[in-house]
Amino acid sequence: MSYALVTGGSRGIGRAICVQLAKQGYDILINYSSNKQAAEETQEAVEQEGRKAALLPFNVGDRVACREAVEQWYANNTDEKIEVLVNNAGIRKDNLMVWMKDEEWDDVMGISLGGFYNVTKSVLPELIKEKKGKIINIVSLSGLKGLPGQTNYSAAKAAVIGATKSLAQEVARRNISVNAVAPGFIRTEMTEDINEKDVKGLIPMRRFGTAEEVASVVGFLASDASSYITGETISINGGLY
């Protein structure tokens, strides 16, 4: 049976991705760090689509915990495999750089960039062995454009975009694709502190996007329909560049 592992899968875009991939026939591994109740709600939503869902709690920024959790899952599920990895976990700690605290830099880099490395490194050997896989990294408009107050977040997401291009070339011969999805302003808990009325005038489509709109593109990249696409970053931003 093929699983999709979605980091930060308990809420928002992560939850929408879990449900979308379940609709496409994948069983789901829901990674989360602290909010077990939200993860269980995602698990229930996946099961309503007729697929299996399991919780895989660990902080993606904790390299040891990450590797132990993934290795233990493989050891306990020898007849099953992870075919799709969605690196979605990320945090925002916005501040102008002149006032940015060291931990605001370190925490954002540790989750968004370090998490990409920790989880991908844990899953990649099995994907290579199977000669089949899809790695999809959730990045951001901020990583392409840069946004004031987000030097940490922009740096982390831009780094993952670069890593996406490099890794795609390393593993293409093994039938593994590596792509990124760059959402703009999406209506989730992560953007609750942003006044949509103040920002939507900058967006040609004059609205925030939805988590489901992001999930639909992730679903495309996880499907056979995207079989000749790798190393790409697809923007979902309503025309805001």
Structure tokens at 107: 């925490």
Query: Cα separations (Å) of 7 from 75, 156, 219, 241?
Result: 20, 16, 15, 26
Q: Are 82 and 29 in contact (CB under 8 A)?
A: yes
Q: Which of 117, 122, 121 lies closest to 75 in space, CA to CA? A: 122
Rounded distance between C-alpha atoms, residue 214 and residue 182, angstroms: 9
Crossing angle for the helix pair 12-23 and 211-221, nearest 10 degrees? 50
Q: Are 91 and 109 in contact (CB under 8 A)?
A: no
Active centre residues (catalytic): 153
Q: Which residues lie closer than 8 Å to 129 by C-beta, 6 or more apart?
A: none
Query: Amino acid letter at 230?
Result: T
Structure tokens at 6: 């979605």
| Type and span of the H or E element at 133 | strand 133-138
Residue holding tokens 């199977």? 130
